[in-house]
Each structure stands twice: as structure tokens, then as C-alpha cells.
Structure 1
Amino acid sequence: MPEHTAALAWRPLTVEDAKASADLLNAIETADRIGENYTEEDTRQELVDPYADLERASLAAFDGEVMVGYMKIRHKPTATEVHRVVLDGGVHPDHRGRGVGAALVDAGVAAAKVVHALHHPTLRLVVDVHKAEHIAGVADLLRSRGFTPVRHFGFLHHPLGAATPTAPIPDGLRVEPWSEGADEDFRSVRNAAYRDYWDATPLPADAWRNKIVNQTFRPDACFLLRVAASGTPVGVLVTQTWEADTATTGVRDARFMIVGTHPDHRGRGVARALVDHALRAVAAQGYHRASASVDSASPLGAAGLFEKAGFTPTMRHVRWALEV
């Protein structure tokens, strides 16, 4: 082990590391400028993810009391043929180029094998890393460990103002905001809509609560489209906002995290109507900007949908993969 990494203290992450994790991620943001700021509550929510096995599949490096690097694995609740686990991690800018990142990636791949054997041992295992394209050193590090780029995702912004789109709700459909009584309809439409998305798996109720209906969830900016006559849900849009981003930048960003149409109702303008309705809503609610992320290779034309609604690309992320 290189001298610097040997001098650090290494152990699995725990929920009690939420503050240290937020401090590390915010230090990373100052260097990488990917638009992700964190509160302690945000990082705690990630640490209690039911599909992140911290004891078996996480590792953090400490220089005294300061966390200077981490990795954690998130396994899939369900999978067919291929089990794609996500390896997330980062290194403090002051500790880069000294072997910490390489040690974390190697530990992450080893941990992925452990959780894979526990949950989907009969399937093929692929380890995924999702990082902004411009971060220095990431490509070289991942290539040195055998990862290859397999997908690109565009991040898009829409500055809100007077020029918000005005596409109407399609005839025979009605729109409603999120409510507790409709929550299961939101989740079921999301799962149906994302069934043929690359690398998407159904969100079980516990993952839905952890990843979606958490402190970043904005119920008054989340909408469901139903068939007016029958009440059948056919389209969904979910908005989330990170208060730490607003506090740091002064910009209230409405992130459209989920936009989907049930496969049986595609081709009717459902997604476009939802996006336009949500843009008008968040503009009226005082947001400064809307944002979204799209798979550049999506066969459903997601990039075109957002571009027609007035979004413009600002950043690109790369999905790196290693078949183990």
C-alpha cells in the first residue's frame, strides 16, 4: 500500500458519518463543480438506503477526524440476467493523486462481489460508476482498473421566466398534484414507465421512500396524469430540490427526477404535457431554474422532449462499467 494510504485510518461507513460525509462531498464540489451540495440530512438519507450494505460494502478513509475518501456499493433489489451494482465514491481534493482513489475503487469491486453473491449469485455482475465527464483523473483511474465507458447522460437546465411553454393537457386526461392517497399510483406508473429504460429496475416501496419521498421531495411540484373517465394513472413527474444547493448558489432549482408515461399510453403527448405543466407550476412557485438528466441513447427520445420544452445541455456524465 502506498505510504499516504497506509497512514490513513480505514473503516466501513456508518450512519454516524453523515456530517463527515457531507463535509467531504462539499469539499469535492468546490473542486469538481458538478452542482451537488449536501446537508448532513442529505448524506444521512443515503447512508440509510436499504440497498446499501455499509458493513459489507463500504469503506471510508480518515485523516484524523476528517473523512478524505469513501466508497459504497448499492445493489439492485431485483435483476434479470445482469446485476448492475453502483459504485459511488470520491476523494478530497487535497488527497488526490496519492493512491486513495485507486484503493477505494479496488475495494469497491471486491465489495460488489460480496453483495452480488448474497443477492443475485446466478446472474452476471457488472459494476457501474457514474461520474461527470470533466472531473480530472477519473477516466485514467477507471480505465486502469478495467472500466470502459458504456453510456452518456446529459444534464440540462431551463431558466424559468416569462417564456414557459404552454402545451395543454391532452383531451380525456386530467392532472393532479401528489397526495398521500395517490403515492402508490405515482410509484406504479414510474415502475411501468421505466420498465424498458436501460438499467432501470422497479422501485420497491422502501427504496421509493428512501430515494424519492424524502427531504428533497416537493409534493406541490409533482404531478400525475389520469384518464378522466376511469381514473387510470398514465403519466408521472416527480420534482426534487436540494436545499444545500440553494443555500450555496442562491438558485432554487426544481430537478425533474422522474418523467414517465405508461407504455400503453405513449404517443399522446403525456410526458410533454407533464413537463410543460410542471415548468409553469415551479415558475409560479418561485423557482429560478428547472433541470433534468437524460440518457443520450434513450430510444424514447427524452433529450428531444426536454429540448423542445426549452432545456439546454450544460454537462455530461459518463457511465463506466466493469464486468466482473
Structure 2
Amino acid sequence: MNLPEGLEARPLTLDDAAAVAVLLAAKVVADDDGENLDADDVAEELGRPGLELARDTISFWDGDQVVGYGLALASHSATDLDRVRTDGVVHPDWRGRGLGTELTRWIIDRARELHEATFPEVPGYVGAGAVATNAGATELLTGLGFEPVRYYFDMRRPLDQPVPEVQLAGGFELIPFDAAREDDLRETHFEVFSEHWGWSRPTPEAWRSRTIGSRAFRAAQSYLVIADGRIAAYVNCYEYPADTAATGIRELYIGQVGTRRPYRGRGLARAALAKVLAEAARSGYGRGALGVDAENPTGALGLYEKLGFSTHQKYVNYQLALA
């Protein structure tokens, strides 16, 4: 690995969470990507099921300061293709010195190893993402053969504006999140998101770690629509204290929204979202936020716009074939 003199390369450990959080804070300021995380959030990310820190991560250190890191996380399942999820960050003060290139090459190599060890029978791809305004990331990724394949919008809505009243259709009940319905929620989520681009079915443990088991999950702000004893639609919400500390705005992040196919076209997601936004305003949140695939097959973008959300930032998903 060709690194500037004085830098040390090694895998990350859980003890590095605070140092990584400092790096991410500098990255957020430079890139305006809005992904504020504190040390506990980072530790949770590094402890995700399936991530082997000793093999799946790399970091660059200047003394006790981490100036770059990368990771590759194997898929839990694959159907017609296998897409390895990755992440990589270089400190703004260290960009332009070749660290991004070395980091991305390492990520590609590790992604190839993971693909060959897990689902070699289907085509493999390594994915990467960047905020659309990060010209350096675009140049780096396309220069190494990545191609843009999908676009996502970060949308926001001030909660000091009136929330439209939406009546729930007859025969449906809107209730707060109920932990006793965890299995039903998981299977509903799998059913809904199986239609989404790039989705692969996670293990129940992996799903839980990123949703209702996450420290950011806010059960009191999440809602379920019930029909015939089962979940017909749902909204899962999250809050990141590091984001409030950085922006001065208490934001409720709407992480997952879904309606099962038999119940679509009845305004269930709209009613649940309206309830979420109204209750968030009453609970002292200043803003709602969410991310949406620009080509979402269920028409989610239009739904969010009608509820007062507007696009704040655009993200690009890139991928490279692991030939």
C-alpha cells in the first residue's frame, strides 16, 4: 500500500469509535451530507452482525488521529446478483494525497474476496455512495471504473408548518409501535422492500440491529397500520443526538415506510406519516427528514412532496462489477 510517509495502516477496533466520530464530523462539514454520528453510533456501526473488523476494515493513522477508513460488508443473501456494501472516508485535510485511491482499491479487493467466499455463483458488484456535490468522490470512483446506477434524495420538512389531516380508511387501525409485533413487522418489511432496487434479504439479527434494535430507534414516534390482525403499513423513526448537537435542530428521521401490496392505493402510508409528523411536532421535534430512491416503484417521492417534504441533497449510488 502506497501511503504518505508517517502514516500507519491497520484494521479498526471498537476502541477506535471516538476517533472515527471526530473524522466523520470533519467530513460532514466538508461534504454537507448531514450524516452526524457520535462515538456510540460509530461503535454500533462497527459492531454490526457479519462485519469482521480484523478482515473487513482498514484505517489510516497519523499518530492518534484517524485520517481515513474503509469497510466492506458481505451480503446476507443473493438472488440474481451479489452486491457488497462498502463505506470509505478520507479526512478533508488529507484529500488529494492518494489516500482515497489506496482506500478504494483495498475496498474493491476485499469486496471481491467476500463475493468469492459467499455467492460466487451469481454476478458480484461492489457498491459505493457519495453526495452528488462531492466532485472529488465522483472523480475518484469513476476513475476506478465505478458507474452511477441510482440516485437518492435527502428530503426535509420543517415541523412548524401545519400537517395535513389525513383520515384513515375504514377497517384499519393506526397504533404506536408494538414490540410484540416484531416478527410481523420484520416480515412486512421484507415483503415491501423485496421490490426495491439493490435490496437483499438480511438475517433477522442484521435487520433488527439496523431497525428496532438500534439505539437511534424511537418507538414512541413510530406507527403501525393494522388490518385483519396483521400489519398493513408501517413507519419506523429514528433520532440522532449527534445531529441535534451539530445543527441545533431536533430532527426525526423517517427510516422505513412501507405498505403491503394488497393494501396499497388506500392512503395508509399517507395517514401514518401525517400522524408521525403531527406527533413529532407536539413532542418538540423541529424537523422531519427521510431518504428516498428517485425511482422508487411505489411512488414514494410524490407522496413525500405532497406532505411538505422538499429535496435538500442528492446522493449517487455507484457500482463496479467484480469480474
Band of TM-score, shorter chain: over 0.9
- The residue aligned with 1:192 is 191
Alpha-carbon distance in 1 for matches of 2:185, 2:3:
51
Which secondary structure state, in structure 1, belongs to the residue aligned with residue 208 of structure 2?
Answer: helix
RMSD, aligned CA: 1.3
Whole-Å separation in 1 of the counterparts to 2:104 and 2:3:
18
SS for the counterpart of 2:135 is coil
Contact 1:53 1:73 in 2 (8 A): no
Rounded Cα–Cα distance in structure 1 between residues aligned with 2:172 and 2:289: 25
Look up the match of 2:274.
Answer: 276
User: Greater CA deviation, 31-40 or 287-296?
Assistant: 31-40
SS where residue 215 of structure 1 aligns? coil
Are the equivalent residues in 2 in contact too, given 1:72–1:87 (CA < 8 A)?
yes
- How far does the alpha carbon of each residue in 1:163-220 deviate from its partner, in whole angstroms, 9 at most, with x for none? 1121111211001111221222222211111111111223322112221121100001
Q: Is the 8 A contact 2:130 2:138 kept in 1?
A: no
CA contact (8 A) 2:17 2:40 kept: yes
* 1:91-240 equivalence runs, <5 A: 91-212=90-211, 213-227=213-227, 230-240=228-238
The percent identity for this pair of structures is 34
Look up the SS of the partner of 2:112 in the other structure.
Answer: helix
Over residues 25-83 of structure 1, what are the superposed CA-to-partner deviations in whole Å (9 max), with x where a residue is unaligned?
11111211211212110000000011323222211000111100000012211111211
Partner of 1:317: 315
Unaligned stretches of 5+ in structure 1? Answer: none
CA contact (8 A) 1:225 1:235 kept: yes
- For each residue in 1:83-117, what CA deviation from the matched residue of structure 2 results, as whole angstroms up to 9, or x when unmatched? 11112010001110000000000000000011112
Check the 8 A contact 1:174/1:225 in 2, yes or no. yes
Distance 1:155 1:30 in 2: 16
List alignment gaps of at least 5 residues for structure 2: none
Partner secondary structure for residue 149 of structure 1: strand
**Would you say the 8 A contact 1:56–1:115 is kept in 2?**
no
Q: Distance in 1 between matches of 2:45 and 2:153?
A: 23
**Contact 1:224 / 1:237 at 8 angstroms: preserved in 2?**
yes
Task: Decide whether the 8 Å contact of 2:191 with 2:260 is kept in 1.
Answer: yes
Alignment match of 1:253 (pick from 246, 251, 254) = 251
Name the SS of the counterpart of 2:28 in structure 1. Answer: helix
TM-score (norm 2): 0.96
The CA deviation string for residues 242-268 of structure 1, in whole angstroms up to 9 with x for no partner, is 100001111011111000011221111
Aligned length: 321
Contact 2:3 2:99 in 1 (8 A): no
Deviating above 4 A after TM superposition, structure 1's stretches of 4 or more consecutive aligned residues are none
Cross-structure match for 1:70: 69
The one-letter code of the counterpart of 2:234 is V
Q: Is the 8 A contact 1:29 1:37 kept in 2?
A: yes
Cα separation, 2, equivalents of 1:37 and 1:162:
25
Partner letter of residue 200 of structure 1? W
Within 2, Cα distance between the matches of 1:264 and 1:232? 12
How many angstroms apart in 2 are the aligned matches of 1:162 and 1:31?
Answer: 30
| Distance change >3 Å, CA 172–CA 3, structure 1 → 2 | closer
Contact kept? 1:61, 1:70, Cα under 8 Å? yes
Aligned to 1:302: 300
In the alignment, is residue 30 of structure 1 matched against residue 29 of structure 2? yes
